[in-house]
Amino acid sequence: MNKKFDYLVVGAGPFGAVFAHEAHKRGKSVLVIDRRNHIAGNLYCESKDDINIHVYGAHIFHTSLKHVWDYVNQFAEFNHYVNSPVANYKGEMYNLPFNMNTFSKMWNIRTPKEAQDIITKQRAAISGEPKNLEEQAISLVGTDIYEKLIKGYTIITILMTASKVFLWVVIPR
Ligand SMILES: Cc1cc2nc3c(=O)[nH]c(=O)nc-3n(C[C@H](O)[C@H](O)[C@H](O)COP(=O)(O)OP(=O)(O)OC[C@H]3O[C@@H](n4cnc5c(N)ncnc54)[C@H](O)[C@@H]3O)c2cc1C
Question: What is the enclosing helix (H) or strand (E) of 30?
Answer: strand 30-33
**Atom 12 in ligand 1: residue holding the nearest Cα:** 59
Q: State which ligand 1 atom lies nearest to the alpha carbon of 44.
A: 29
Cβ of 21 closer than 6 Å to ligand 1, yes or no, is no
State how far the alpha carbon of 159 is from the alpha carbons of 9, 20, 37, 60, 173, in Å.
Answer: 27, 30, 25, 19, 21
| Average confidence (pLDDT) over 89-106 | 92
Band of pLDDT at residue 84, cut at 50, 70 and 90: confident
Cβ of 57 closer than 6 Å to ligand 1, yes or no, is yes
Residues 6+ apart with CB under 8 A from 42: 13, 56, 57, 59
| Average confidence (pLDDT) over 55-61 | 90
Q: Would the pLDDT of 165 be above 80?
A: no
Cβ of 34 closer than 6 Å to ligand 1, yes or no, is yes
Band of pLDDT at residue 78, cut at 50, 70 and 90: confident
| Dihedral (CA of 150, 155, 157, 160) sign | positive
Tell me phi and psi for residue 92, to 5 degrees: -90, 130
Residues 6+ apart with CB under 8 A from 29: 4, 5, 6, 7
Cβ of 11 closer than 6 Å to ligand 1, yes or no, is yes
pTM of model > 0.85: no
List pLDDT tens digits, range 38-52: 999 999 999 999 898
Give residue 105's region: left, alpha or beta (phi > 0; psi -120 to 50).
alpha
Using CA atoms, how far apart are residues 168 and 171, in angstroms rounded to an integer? 6
The C-alpha angle with vertex 19 and arms to 15 and 21, in degrees rounded to 5, equals 120
Q: State which ligand 1 atom lies nearest to the alpha carbon of 57.
A: 1
